[in-house]
């Protein structure tokens, strides 16, 4: 999720990725080998496609994240495995990440400015009830407060996408992060049952997640419409109609209180492989966004403050491609603190599986031409799982004028 394609954490990647291979964009090789009838499962079609799941399973199986799962509550000292070189230069607090009220008559201009300069903004006036955000946060708390042995019953398998575990990007770093996650793709009942055998307990979790997903899904569709309009696309533009459906993943994150927060990392700097991500960062701040060097100063981290009831929206790699680089997929990370258990919920919004993501023809400058090759989401996820923040750069093509 990185417009500049370099690591900004001082801890480097453990894997030196070879140059990403060229994908054969003319054919989707996965589709030729899959017997669809044996995979018909409405719950997973509702989110990520079977093709995507299989492609990802293959990559994940080839690079398992081998870690010992910590019982964060019982640790009095930061273990060496989790001690990062001092990286936490104080974040700037004086540069406010844009906060946009969706009812503002000027909303499109505000979105354009935020997407071009920050790649991230907070929204208010979004009509998601605060009570739903509160309940979702308390369900996160209930899940992550379980004893570690209970959480491990829903451990994400090495080749799987759903379940409990450490951040997937852990395999790219030689230090571990002070966080745990729970990934939800499609229906989460099976995993919830493993965590809470009693129906009353898992039903409560599943119902909250379903309600949250449904409400954030329709908000995200509204945001897609606003962002397309902010780029100058008209309602009838053909480009736009392909995005009426979507795939989604919900990621619950937990950052327990940490005995040495200045040397720990909650979630290392990354960009999102999505079109858009809508994040609820609960009542405890911890999200930071990278500002690139500009007239206000050199490259710097800026804190995204937690605002009661607000949601954070960030542009993902795929929207950077769609907008031909005009809207920025921005590096962000999460830090931890000594006293508070922080939770966040990311709704990762991707395109329908069969859509090839390419710069939108309606907004292309004929003098510049497309700056990215087209890619379908499953291929992009595989590229990202293998090459992390070099993935987006590997799709970049020369500007016309340079040729």
Ligand X SMILES: O=C(O)CCC(=O)C(=O)O
**291 and 218 in contact (C-beta within 8 Å)?**
no
- Choose one: 130-138, 150-158, 281-289, 390-398; the region binding ligand X (CB under 6 A): 281-289
Alpha carbons 183 and 191: distance in angstroms, whole number:
10
**Nearest residue (CB) to ligand X, 53 versus 268:** 268
Per annotation, catalytic residue among 217, 342, 373, 396: 342
Q: How far is the CB of 287 from ligand X (least distance, A)?
A: 4
- Can you give the C-alpha Rg of the chain in angstroms? 20
Q: How far is the CB of 6 from ligand X (least distance, A)?
A: 18
**Nearest residue (CB) to ligand X, 128 versus 279:** 279
Q: Give residues 118-177 in contact with ligand X (rule: CB under 6 A).
A: none
The two structure tokens encoding residue 101? 């009220």
Q: How many CB atoms lie within 10 A of CB 149?
A: 9
Q: How far is the CB of 314 from ligand X (least distance, A)?
A: 8
Q: How far is the CB of 34 from ligand X (least distance, A)?
A: 29
Q: Which residues have CB under 8 Å from 149's CB, separation 6+?
A: none
- Choose one: 22-30, 96-104, 138-146, 278-286; the region binding ligand X (CB under 6 A): 278-286
Q: How far is the CB of 318 from ligand X (least distance, A)?
A: 14
286 binds ligand X (CB under 6 A): yes
Contacts of 288-292 with CB under 8 Å at 24 or more apart are 288/91, 288/332, 288/333, 288/334, 288/335, 289/97, 289/118, 289/119, 289/120, 289/314, 289/330, 289/331, 289/332, 290/8, 290/330, 290/331, 290/332, 290/333, 291/92, 291/95, 291/118, 292/3, 292/4
281 binds ligand X (CB under 6 A): yes
- The two beta strands, 120-124 and 99-101, are parallel
334 binds ligand X (CB under 6 A): yes
The two structure tokens encoding residue 74? 């019982």
Number of residues that bind ligand X (CB under 6 A): 12
Q: How far is the CB of 333 from ligand X (least distance, A)?
A: 7
**Nearest residue (CB) to ligand X, 180 versus 272:** 272
Three-class DSSP category at 78: coil
- From the list 78, 70, 86, 79, the residue with the least C-alpha distance to 259 is 78
- Choose one: 17-25, 90-98, 203-211, 279-287; the region binding ligand X (CB under 6 A): 279-287
**Nearest residue (CB) to ligand X, 140 versus 360:** 140
The two structure tokens encoding residue 139? 């369900």
337 binds ligand X (CB under 6 A): no
Name beta bridge partners: 376: 356
**Nearest residue (CB) to ligand X, 288 versus 358:** 288
**Nearest residue (CB) to ligand X, 272 versus 379:** 272
Point out the residue whose Cβ comes nearest to ligand X: 344
**Nearest residue (CB) to ligand X, 114 versus 331:** 331
The two structure tokens encoding residue 342? 């922080």
344 binds ligand X (CB under 6 A): yes
| 342 belongs to the catalytic site | yes
Q: Tokens 């398992």 appear where?
A: 64
382 binds ligand X (CB under 6 A): no
253 binds ligand X (CB under 6 A): yes
**Of 346, 357, 385, 395, which one interacts with ligand X (CB under 6 A)?**
346
Question: CA of 242: how far to CAs of 77, 221, 228, 235, 357, in Å?
Answer: 51, 12, 12, 12, 10
CA 41 to chain centre: 24
**Of 267, 278, 375, 392, which one interacts with ligand X (CB under 6 A)?**
267
**Of 251, 273, 386, 394, which one interacts with ligand X (CB under 6 A)?**
251
329 binds ligand X (CB under 6 A): no
Q: Which residues are catalytic?
A: 342
Q: Which residues bind ligand X (CB under 6 A)?
A: 251, 253, 267, 272, 279, 281, 286-287, 332, 334, 344, 346
């Amino acid at each position: 999720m990185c417009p500049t394609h370099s690591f900004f954490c001082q801890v480097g990647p453990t894997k030196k990725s070879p140059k990403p291979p060229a994908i054969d964009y003319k054919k989707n090789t996965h589709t030729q080998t899959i017997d669809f009838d044996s995979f018909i499962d409405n719950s997973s079609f509702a989110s990520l496609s079977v093709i995507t799941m299989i492609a990802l399973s293959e990559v994940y199986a080839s690079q398992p994240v081998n870690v010992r799962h910590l019982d964060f509550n019982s640790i009095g000292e930061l273990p060496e495995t989790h001690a990062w070189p001092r990286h936490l230069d104080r974040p700037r607090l004086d540069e406010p990440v844009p906060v946009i009220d969706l009812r503002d008559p000027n909303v499109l201009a505000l979105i354009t400015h935020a997407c071009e300069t920050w790649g991230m903004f907070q929204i208010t006036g979004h009509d998601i009830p605060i009570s739903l955000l509160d309940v979702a946060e308390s369900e996160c708390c209930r899940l992550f407060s379980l004893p570690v042995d209970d959480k491990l019953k829903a451990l994400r398998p090495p080749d799987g996408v759903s379940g409990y575990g450490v951040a997937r990007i852990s395999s790219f770093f030689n230090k571990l992060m002070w966080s745990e996650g729970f990934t939800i793709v499609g229906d989460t009942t099976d995993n919830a049952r493993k965590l809470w055998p009693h129906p009353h307990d898992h039903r409560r979790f599943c119902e909250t997640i379903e309600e949250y997903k449904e409400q954030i899904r329709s908000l995200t569709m509204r945001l897609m419409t606003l962002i397309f309009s902010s780029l100058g696309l008209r309602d009838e533009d053909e480009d736009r109609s392909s995005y009426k459906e979507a795939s989604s993943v919900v990621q619950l994150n937990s950052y327990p209180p940490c005995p040495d927060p200045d040397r720990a990392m909650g979630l290392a700097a990354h960009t999102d492989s999505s079109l858009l991500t809508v994040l609820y960062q609960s009542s405890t701040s911890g999200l930071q966004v990278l500002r690139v060097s500009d007239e206000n100063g050199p490259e710097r981290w800026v804190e995204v403050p937690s605002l009661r009831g607000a949601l954070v929206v960030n542009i993902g790699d795929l929207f950077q491609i769609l907008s031909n680089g005009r809207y920025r997929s921005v590096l962000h990370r999460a830090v931890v603190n000594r006293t508070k258990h922080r939770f966040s919920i990311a709704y990762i919004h991707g395109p329908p599986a069969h859509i090839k993501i390419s710069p939108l023809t309606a907004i292309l400058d004929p003098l510049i031409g497309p700056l990215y090759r087209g890619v379908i989401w499953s291929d992009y996820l595989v590229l990202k799982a293998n090459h992390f923040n070099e993935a987006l750069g590997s799709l970049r093509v020369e500007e016309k004028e340079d040729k």
